[in-house]
Amino acid sequence: MSRRRVGVDVGGTKCLAVALDDAGTVVADERVSTPNDPDELVEAILEVARAVGAVDGIGVGVPGLVTRDGVLIAAPNVTSVRMLPLRVRLQAASGWDVRVDNDNTVACLAEWRQGSARGFDDVVLVGLGTGIGGGAVVNGRLHRGANGFAAEFGHMIVAAGGIECPCGQRGCWERYASGTGLAHHAQAAAIDGRLEAILAEAGSVAAIRGEDVTDAALAGDPEALEVIATFAGWVAVGLVSLTNIFDPAAIVLSGGLSAHPDLFLPSIVDSYERHLFAAGARPRPLVTFAGLGPYAGAVGAALLLDD
């Protein structure tokens, strides 16, 4: 039997482990909840990796800033974890070959090798979740930057002096174009006297969530569809900037919002093409949703072992 490649995706609430066969197909998967404690996190990763058959190596994808040596500087959803030398700790506890990288960087690796961006040499992945993460392939290589911190697209400032971001800046792209951003646009519409039914259901403006407006838009509510169009415009301006920087052949959108591609993609692509530099005179990048769904992070983590 050939060696299984095992990857673990550390999420805010759960750690997902997968094992891949030689063809890259997922042949086993297991989950454990993510503890908010550094020592317990190391244990949880090893436990879930063993559960899918890890024997001598794992790749791990973690949310947050990860150095090229596998030190997790800070993770937004695992608040007690700071400056954790995750690769060294996992290696010392298991004796395995361990690779650690950012969760969206490894999702980009997976979509490039096996998903929607297979066959392209220049790829940008944008993870639209509660915030926005990213990954990039440049000239056929995963782009990591000088420290390993590249592709933190969510903190690209798109509105100087705009909405405050937990990162300490104002006007970051993820305040406008993530799930949090969608809720912001919906709340602004409610303050403006629109989305009455959603407001009545939620009880207060602050209680309106992105999902509420998504559900209403799926049911055909014209005011909710307007909010989706506003939101799509903010997604598009960031994608235009990324296109000007990277000149990608493919842009892959992943994360929670990719659950409804038919709702979001046409508006995003329409706005993107209207703002694109020299739109009529350049090849348009493929703008598409992720092909590997919720497994992208764990699959990409396993693929780090081929790196």
Residues that bind Zn ion (CB under 5 A): 155, 165, 167, 169, 172
Residue with tokens 């207060």: 204
Residues 6+ apart with CB under 8 A from 276: 240, 243, 282, 284
Angstrom distance (rounded) from CA 232 to CA 261? 12
Nearer residue to Zn ion within complex by CB, 89 or 175? 175
CB of 79 to Zn ion, least distance (A): 16
Q: How far is the CB of 134 from Zn ion (least distance, A)?
A: 13
Cα(105)–Cα(151) distance, rounded to whole angstroms?
8
Cβ closest to Zn ion, residue 90 vs residue 235 = 235
Q: Provide, rounded to whole angstroms, the least separation between the CB of residue 264 and Zn ion.
A: 22
**Shortest Å, Cβ 263 to Zn ion:** 26
Nearer to Zn ion, 172 or 232 (CB): 172
Residue with Cβ nearer Zn ion (87 or 155): 155
Residue that the structure tokens 């298991």 belong to: 94
SS3 of 89-116: the string is HHHHHHCCEEEEEEHHHHHHHHHHHHCC
Q: Indicate the residue among 167 and 202 with the shorter CB distance to Zn ion.
A: 167
CB of 182 to Zn ion, least distance (A): 17
Q: What angle do CA 270, 126, 23 make, to 5 degrees?
A: 115
Q: Is the CB of 48 or the CB of 183 nearer to Zn ion?
A: 183
Q: How far is CA 117 from CA 47, 185, 223, in A?
A: 32, 30, 34
Instruction: Identify which of residues 159 and 263 has a Cβ nearer to Zn ion in the complex.
Output: 159
For the record, the structure tokens of 85 come out as 């030398």
Q: What are phi and psi of 183, to 5 degrees?
A: -60, -40
Query: Residue 74 Cβ, how far from Zn ion at the closest point, in Å?
Result: 13
What's the 3-state SS for 121-188?
A: CCEEEEEECCCEEEEEEECCEECCCCCCCCCCHHHCECCCCCCECCCCCECECHHHHCHHHHHHHHHH
**Could you tell me the smallest distance in angstroms from the CB atom of residue 234 to Zn ion?**
14
